[in-house]
Structure 1
Amino acid sequence: MIIKAAQDAGFLKNYKVRVPADLDGVTTVDTAREGAAARAGLRPADVEAIWTAVQDLYRSRAFPGISFCLRRRGEVVLHRTLGHARGNGPFDVRNAPKTPMALDTPVCLFSASKAVTAVLVHKLAEEGGLDLDQRVSHYIPAFGQRGKQDTTVAEVLAHRGGFPQIRVPRAEKRVEILLDWDGVIDRICRAPPTHPRRMAYHAISGGFILAELIQRITGASVQSYLDTRFREPLGLKHFTYGLPLQHRDTAALNYAAGQPVRFPLSSIVEKVLIVPFEQVVESSNSAAFMDAVIPAGNLYATAEELSRFFQVMLDDGCWQGRRLLKTETLKRAVKPKWRIALDGSLMIPMRYSEGMMLGANPVGLYGPASRHAYGHLGFMSILGWADPEREMSCALLTTGKALLGTHLITLGKLLATLSDRCKTG
């Protein structure tokens, strides 16, 4: 591994992005779509404060590229990018030339893909295709092996399915195993539960089972189901699992950044993601990764597209007068499933609905006083969420994969600024 070798040699003790003093040259603004702050119930000073906080996040030097979109009261308040989609990484293994991050640059959402996959399952339940409270083994008989026979679809959605990791022998630990769909489903079905009835984040495993349910019940691919229910009605250019060949030259590359991930964090990350941190980053830029369908981890989108998706949820399931989700479907998708508790995989307190990571008070994933917010985090600081209390839907897409570093401080300040400037009343 190139990055790992460089770390071992001491070249990457704290690797950061080069940031110019004047950010205008690395900034793109969607002047055609950004609306007046007043129509969104904000003052120009509010918008400026939020954008300054995004710029400060870029100045943390952890992210080669950032794409950001904020809607409030349905109005696009900010849709901008900073930095580069390719090149200017802290350790550019491809020596890629600097390519600016464009407004339509597709970015891998990683685990933020889970929110979309979960909504697809809720949509299928709305259509009568499956019962969320039914056992998974009712639809996938082989899943009922070795103590998993009573696990319900709802429990999988809420990270209580009991199979948070795909069990892989150390000699086989590589991202390529995820390209064998039938093999992954077989591994999950044959494995005994490791966390029965306990909350433990299903980083990769749950998405495969949920998508398999969609495919078995509809007879179509999970991508086809996504296309017909959301991608096409919303008029989205990307929003695909994996990335078609014609868009790969414009896709944002991912880069390892920040402090090197060392033990014990490295072991926790590897346990959750199957393979070491650096291998995930490198593999995510490969053609094989973009060929694959990884329902919990490789949906590609722009920040505006992800914000649009959450705006539909905020607008009671409607988009431009067309209903895409019923009210009762949305209520169930975002309703807290259990109280906040220690997650057995992430080893931090978490709060989930059936498919969403939820905010919390006094401070949560989406900032201070975010108890009503819902959405999902992606590897490592990708965020897509809606906050009904603040009437906002937001997407923050980043290409630097940094677990530790000063960027965490500026990210916290950005979320606090959003919470403060978009509060109602």
Structure 2
Amino acid sequence: MISWMGSVCSSRYCMGSARSLIDPSGRAQGGVAPLCTGVPPRGRDTHPGTMSGGGGGDSPLWKYMFAGGTAVCGLGTWMHHGHVGPGFLAPVLLGLGGLALVFGSCEAMIKCVEALGERQKWNDFVAGTMAGLASNVPEIIMLGFVVAAAPRVAFVVTCLTLHVNALIFGVYSALLPKNETGHALLPSAITKLGADLLACAAGVFLALGTMMLTLKVFDAGDHRGEGLGAGDLYAIGIALLAVQVVSVRELLSRFSSADTTAPGAAKATEGPRPPLGPIVMYGAIGMAGSFLGGHAVGDFADALVDALSHRGYSEMVGAIIVSLFSGIASYLMIASAHFKKKTDLALSNVSGAVTQMPFVVLPCTLIMMATFAKLGVIPHLPHGAVLAIDLETTSVLLLSFPTLLVLWKSISDDGMVSKLETAVMVSVFGLIIYFLVQHG
């Protein structure tokens, strides 16, 4: 539910697009070195009309998805308000139509930022990063509807999505091209900036989970251990967003002016400077579509959680189902990019889904929860708290620490992923998800 936009977006570029430059030993280096391990160099996407971040090219698929999603959402809304057809059909139509509409909106936003990148003369990596960040805008708009309907569920699913995306990263690492020693090489941006972000997220999640547990056990704090107040949510959200801002500034200062094209890779041809009109048009389409699609997805998620709850399933079961369903489009895109040998594009989707969750989606969730509570959109708890401290909200935070720790160790030690590291990631992440669903 929460990760719908980030999962369906065809570009997740927080950490994913730079090429690893390696020495004969296979270790990632910052300088230029010949590629001699037998792994195809990770050059930029040179397909005409496509930047490394877009993934959409000139394909009209997003237009069909946008139009079809609008029609299906309209049908589902009519059935819901008119009480037409079986009770389950309207939410299903809203979910499917909203997913398609949000997918099309994301593609429109990516096209907007890609054209802006060409206009501003950004290199491929910076333009791809901006596209990935912009792809969160429709998600955050959609997220507002979910927070307004069920703020606690929104928080749980947001954090649980981190675990799901980490498992996808571990699985996909087994499919990456290997060098002669059997190791998969990672882009330098993942091993440098990505590792720092993972370490920061691990520390924040552990500290926050421990504090919540302490408040609950000792009945302490302004809200007598009931939960976190609006001030707490503002402080956490602003701190996490500040890290993301610094990360982007660091990215621009270290990578924007560097020629990251691998030796022997073809240079992307420069076309005419994109006009401003299409940039504004794509941006407006993306924002409008995300608003409508987000509303539909929020209605579907609310209905799904209610149905599972009435059948006696735990909240975590509903959350994991929503997380998996929300990622179907993204997983299909990852598979498509992989089979097309666009490893960087697939890897950027996988890694960005992990690194942007703690520093973009989660802080926006917390800030919206605090703001909606102050405006009276969502009710306060009996003692004035906004986010309840309970088994679910605490466990998804505390169990995020081992997930992030294993991820950090796997990518930061030597810039490569071994078969053992892949096995460790899949085993640990899978067990944590099992624990959350079975006992959370």
Same fold (TM over 0.5): no
Identify the TM-score tier after normalising by the shorter chain.
under 0.3
Bigger Rg, which one? 2
Q: Relative contact order, CA 8 A, sep 6+: which one is greater? A: 2
Given the two structures, how large is their TM-score scaled by the length of structure 2? Answer: 0.25
| Structure (1 or 2) with the greater strand fraction | 1
| Structure (1 or 2) with the greater helix fraction | 2
